[in-house]
Amino acid sequence: MSQPEKDPIKGREVFDMDRAHVFHSWSAQGLISPLPVAGGEGSYFWDFDGNKYLDFSGQLVFTNIGMQHPKVIKAIQDQAAKLATIAPQHANEARALAAKKITEHAPEKFNKVFFTNGGADAVENAIRMARLHTGKQKVLSFYRSYHGNTTTAITATGDPRRWPNEHGVGHVHFFGPYAYRSSFWSSDEAQECERALAHLEQVITFEGPGTIAAILIESIVGTAGVLIPPKGYLEGVRALCDKHNIMWIADEVMSGFGRAGKWFAFQHSTVEPDLITFAKGVNSGYLPLGGVVISDAIAATFDQRVFPGGLTYSGHPLSCAAAVAAIEVMEEEQIVENAALIGEKVLGPGLRELAKKHKIIGEVRGVGTFWALDLVVDRESREPLAAYGGSSPAMNELIAACKKSGLMPFANFNRIHCCPPCNVSEAEVLEGLAILDQALESVSHYYTGKN
């Protein structure tokens, strides 16, 4: 691995330029202090002061093959030398190959891909396809969800980022399964599944099945908590969709391409959706790329009917070349299998051991390289360490302690998410767990429960 070289003067220049000219997302601009990043490799990145960080955030849960994989970097360079850009109405080899590689890992009924620039516009276009295919308008989605920040995607989102952005109509939110903080007074996973499906069917009934085009679900809820659907839940959703001629859109933007130890997270179930949205891990975020994998039935709707959507950079050759190379790397290096094994044998057990030691951990959830710690001040009451939609001094101290020791976590409200690259090594996971152990100990005094 490359050793970070110190260049604090350059770091200050980058920071000052950023603060003078860059407007950051999801931020009050005067209250942030962005870390100037100098470089990265594999599971690590570093700043200009020579501080190295083990990345347990996957950046925004997208560096599925780690940073600077040489085969993907070379593929981008080779494509730039051959054909750096082309308008989307033309065919190009990189886009065709990327579509072929993606559909090879989807179920048999999926043979077409519509490319977008990221996950939000993938969701936008999947919803558009479902509405046009069914002739219906409403979309149902979880309250605990995030689907992107474009108009339709943010309206479909359930978390608080929706509130100041909500302008659309035709979106209805419902409660998905979350046994640890059940909305249905369930006593176990099976009961949670049964009651969550009954709730969904009630929502469908009262909204009117003839008005609902799609149910949009993150196959594993990501930013809102790494919520693994209980056994039978997706099967139940599929049955309700079939009963009422509703399309199931599987949002795989965060959970796809190895993150959950499968090519797509819905493959942990026995059923298949009608549309699949993707982005992030498809090329490890090396270049912007997203898309919709379209079932044959929906694709056929547009054989003789114009699909009213498109983007200037749809299927951009550089982004698609990166996707082809990244998928080939995942295949050749068995990265999806590594994610599954790491989750089962190292990361999952390690986090559960931390839960035995630190009472502040209320629940451990996850699969593959996709995990979350639900942090509480009292295990009995399950009062969260930070309020919904906010943070707290305890969470701020925990995050700071992680960073100080060289671990970059992904934090949201009262949770720490552990999402290292899918090709992370056992040694790197153990290193991260050791740092997390120390950081959790540093905030143990915030726990107020008796047990």
User: What domain count does the chain have?
Assistant: 2
Domain presence at residue 192: yes
451 pLDDT band (50/70/90 cuts)? confident
Residues 169 and 106 both lie in one domain:
yes
Mark which of 282, 313, 332 sits at the end of a domain: 332
On whether both 303 and 402 belong to a single domain, the answer is: no
In a domain, 77, yes or no: yes
Residue 204 sits in the same domain as residue 339: no
Domain match, 236 and 358 both: no
Is the pLDDT reported for residue 308 higher than 90? yes
51 lies in the same domain as 74: no
Q: Which pair of tokens denotes residue 404?
A: 């100080």
Are 45 and 66 in contact by the 8 Å Cβ rule? The answer is no
Residue 158 and residue 282 in one domain: yes
Boundary of a domain, candidates 332, 348, 368: 332
- Is 3 among the domain residues? no
Q: Are residues 204 and 269 located together in one domain of the fold?
A: yes
Determine the pLDDT at residue 168: 63
284 and 294 in a common domain: yes
Confidence of residue 406 (pLDDT cuts 50, 70, 90): very high
Helix pair angle (348-357, 426-442), 10° resolution: 20
In 3D space, the residue among 107, 392, 368 whose CA is nearest the CA of residue 262 turns out to be: 368
The percent of residues in the chain predicted with pLDDT above 70, rounded, is 99
**Which domain covers residue 345, as residue numbers?**
8-65+334-446
Which CATH number covers residue 399? Answer: 3.90.1150.10
pTM for the whole structure: 0.96
Segment 11-48, tens digit of pLDDT: 999 999 999 999 999 999 999 999 999 999 999 999 99
* 189-211 residues labelled b (16+ CB within 10 A) or e (exposed): bebbbbbbbebbbebbeeeeeee
What is the band of 395 on the pLDDT scale with cuts at 50, 70, 90? very high
Q: Is residue 239 part of a domain?
A: yes
**Which of the four pLDDT bands, split at 50, 70 and 90, describes residue 2?**
low
Q: Is there a single domain that holds both residue 276 and residue 190?
A: yes
Among 332, 349, 365, where does a domain finish? 332
CATH assignment of the domain containing 262: 3.40.640.10
Q: Are residues 308 and 367 in the same domain?
A: no
